[in-house]
Structure 1
Amino acid sequence: MSNEDTSHPQLPTSYDAAFKELEELSARATKGDISIDELSTAIQRGNQLFAFLSSGIAKIKAEIEDHAPDGITQSKPN
């Protein structure tokens, strides 16, 4: 018997892969290709991928702000 927990699959190793998986999951949901039995798991996986991507975006934003000349990142669009 394996001790592996398959209820929470590992996150992809790249943001591109995570985004692609989230797109595919979204497309399946939009088409109605996710059964009621799979829906809870699909929602949980989508939330995991979204959180992973959001953290990546936050890291990239922080890096940009750290390297941008003063004032550039402070301006807000109208």
Structure 2
Amino acid sequence: MLRDRLIGLVTEILAKNAIERIPAIDARLSEVGLSSMDMVNLMFAVEAAFDVELPAAEITPENFYSIASIEALLTRLGVSAAS
């Protein structure tokens, strides 16, 4: 499932920062412990994990606000969990 893979990516980045928790899907990622560099790493991880190139216009704070917003972005771009 798309959401499960996204949760895994976020949790992995949080673990590198010694934060051992799974954020709620609508939690603001910057408030659960992701720094601006972590957000860049998350963007690259999403592109690699789902074999997609995110259009520059879509790389916005709103689209990377939460797991749910990233999931919505990928859905709009036609990405599926099987990607």
Taking structure 2 as the reference length, the TM-score comes to 0.30
Give the number of the structure whose residues are more often helix, by fraction: 1
